[in-house]
Structure formats: C-alpha cells, structure tokens
Amino acid sequence: MTSLTFNRIPKCHFRGISLPDGQPQHCPQCIANKLNYCGAIDMELGNQLQAIVVKIRFERGQTLFTQEDSADYVFALVAGVMSCSHYLADGRRQIMAFLFPGDYIGMATGERYSYSGEAVTEGEICRFRRKPFIKLLTKFDDFEQHFFREVSNELAEAQKHVLILGQKDATERVASFLLMLDERENRYGAHDDIELPMKRAEIADYLGLSIETVSRTLTKLRKSGVIAMPNAHLVRILNPDGLRDIAFD
C-alpha cells in the first residue's frame, strides 16, 4: 500500500489522485477541492473555474515558473509534490515550502512570484489566469473567505519555519521536519511510514542545513531508536513522543 514507486502518480497515497487524461474535469471532482475546500464549491463556480483552467502534467525536476516570472497565474496542485524555492544570485537556494495535492500556489504574490515552483516528483497542476480567478473570488464570497484562510495557513506555516530556522539546532530541525510530513500525510488518512519524496539536498535547503548534516542527523535519530528507515526515502516513527520531545514544539 505504501511501497515506494516514483514512476506512477497514484502509487504514492499522499500525492493525490490523478485526474483522467485529457481536458480538465469539473472542479468539484478535483482532489484539490476535496482536500482543502471541503466540497463547498457550487456548480456555478465550478463551471466558471473550468472555463479558465488549464491542466498541466509535469515531470520530476521541472520548473513550472521562476521567481522572475510575471505572476499571471494561480495554481492548484492536483497530484505530486512541488517546492517553492527562492534563489540568491550566488546560487544559494532557500526552499520556502513543500506543496502537496490540494495546495494553492501564487495566491498571495506581488507583480512577480518571488520564488520558483519546482517539481519534486512528477505530478499535475491546474493553472488559472490570475485576473479572472481573482474576479471569481470577489463574486463568490465563500470562495474568497476560503482563500483568506488558505493564505492565513500559509502564513502560520511560514512562521513555524522562521521559528525552526531561527532557534532550533540541526536535530530539532530534522525532527520537526519529520513531524511536519507526518502530520501532512495524516490528512490523507492513516499511514504507516512517512515518505520523503524529496532529495537530501532539498531537505537541507528547506532546513538551512548542509546535505551532510541532514544525513548524519537522520542516522543519529535512527541509531537512537526514535525512527527506523526501511530505505533512504521512508521513515517509520518508532517513538512519536520521543520525536516530539526532540523537535521541541
């Protein structure tokens, strides 16, 4: 049920359900709505969304948009995992967030995205032109409130991230990261092992650590018995309370 296969989307239970190929589906059937919008999209809104949506499949490693691009679109991730990264001129990369099915991207942005959207796994995304999308926001009141909550949650996530980066040491950071993934995967129903679809380098750039430190820390947690790692991209939490203690909030 949770075997690790990166080749086909549906295999990984928390990466969302692939839509049938072809034209975009009516949005109420879309996983993105099921997960975050609780099915509250009405038919009329669904139809209007359908008129401005383009569904895009993407491959692992692909860049969907860059931090320099004019922010003409809003996206809804349907399947797969993405990252939002900000690059400095010398190549340093800060990953701002990992995105999972049901997440929206580029809601709260200025004239340009200030981060690049990159595919961590292959997947599928719905792309909406911003202007008509925003018009729908003002037209459908719950829809607007929904996005206010979305952006609020994103802010809360960013603040947690600030706390991790500003105050926590390497072990606390990695433990917090594992718990974050665990919690995230729990939204899709019970699961046993945490999947790490991203590379060590991506975990490192999310946590402000080096690849080597991430690797050493995982090894340390494994040797101390709070987690097990069936393989390099699968983590089983053996002692949840212990891990929470280590994460320190």
Partner DNA sequence: CGACAGCTTGATCGATCTCAAGCACGGTGG
Partner DNA sequence: CCACCGTGCTTGAGATCGATCAAGCTGTCG
Stretch that binds DNA, among 11-19, 40-48, 153-161, 203-211 (CB under 7 A): 203-211
State which of residues 30, 180, 214, 247 lies at the interface with DNA (CB under 7 A).
214
Segment holding 216, helix H or strand E: helix 211-223
225 contacts 239 by C-beta, under 8 angstroms: yes
- Give helix 170-186 / helix 211-223 axis angle, nearest 10°: 80
For residue 33, the 8-state DSSP code is I
Nearest CB to a copy of itself, comparing residues 25 and 242: 242
Which of DNA, a copy of itself, none is residue 112 near (CB under 5 to 8 Å by kind)? none
128 contacts 99 by C-beta, under 8 angstroms: no
Return the bridge partners of 128, or none: 53, 74
User: In the window 189-248, what residues touch a copy of itself (CB under 8 A)?
Assistant: 205-208, 248
User: Taking the complex as a whole, how short is the minimal distance between the CB of residue 205 and a copy of itself, in angstroms?
Assistant: 8
For residue 29, the 8-state DSSP code is G
Cα-based distances in Å from 54 to 142, 163, 230: 23, 37, 38
Binding of a copy of itself by 23 (CB under 8 A): no
What are the structure tokens assigned to 68, written together?
């320099």
Closest to 192 (Cα-Cα) out of 6, 71, 14: 14
Which of a copy of itself, DNA, none is residue 189 near (CB under 5 to 8 Å by kind)? none
State which of residues 35, 209, 235, 247 lies at the interface with DNA (CB under 7 A).
209
Number of residues binding to a copy of itself, judged by CB under 8 A? 39
What does the alpha-carbon distance between residue 62 and residue 121 come to, in Å, rounded to a whole number?
9
Binding of DNA by 210 (CB under 7 A): yes
- Using CA of residue 5, residue 17, residue 128, residue 154, what is the dihedral sign? negative
State which of residues 109, 186, 219, 224 lies at the interface with a copy of itself (CB under 8 A).
109
Interface residues toward DNA, by CB under 7 A: 7, 169-171, 199-201, 208-216, 218-219, 229, 231-233
Interface residues toward a copy of itself, by CB under 8 A: 86, 88-90, 92-94, 96, 107-110, 114-115, 138, 141, 144-145, 147-148, 151-152, 154-156, 158-159, 161-163, 165-167, 205-208, 248-249
